[in-house]
Amino acid sequence: MANAKIKGENVKEITFEVKDLNLDDRVEFNNIITKSGGIHNLGFGDFVKMVRIATTLTDEEINEFTDTEIITMSNRCYEVVNKKKFKK
């Protein structure tokens, strides 16, 4: 797992855990974006699904955030999930 943090205009600072996704979870996560035709075609439910897949947050915890915060969190999850994979 990795700690992720977001902050910015209209978004309070939020720290959350991003899970180390297995390959099936990465496929599901990335298919949300690629099957929609790109990030500009995503609906709010797609952003929620991304946060559900990639974080340890419960639905109740996610529901406490604003729409803008959830969208920003999903973008941060995308950055963490798709970081360059280093070989050991």
Q: What is the DSSP letter of 88?
A: -
* Residue located via tokens 């309070």: 12
| H or E segment to which residue 8 belongs | strand 2-8
The predicted structure's pLDDT at residue 12: 74
Q: How far apart are CA 41 and CA 39, in angstroms?
A: 5
In the predicted structure, residue 58 carries a pLDDT above the cut 60: yes
Q: What is the pLDDT of residues 78-87, one digit of tens each?
A: 999 888 665 5
Q: How confident is the model at residue 9 (pLDDT cuts 50, 70, 90)?
A: low
Q: What is the DSSP letter of 37?
A: T
Q: What is the pLDDT of residues 17-43, one digit of tens each?
A: 999 999 999 999 999 988 877 777 899
Helices 23-34 and 44-54: angle between axes, nearest 10 degrees = 170
Report CA 33 to chain centroid distance, whole Å.
Answer: 11
Q: Which of 65, 77, 70 is nearest to 30 (CA)?
A: 77
The whole-chain average pLDDT of the chain stands at 86
Taking residues 43-68, what's their average pLDDT? 95
The predicted structure's pLDDT at residue 33: 87
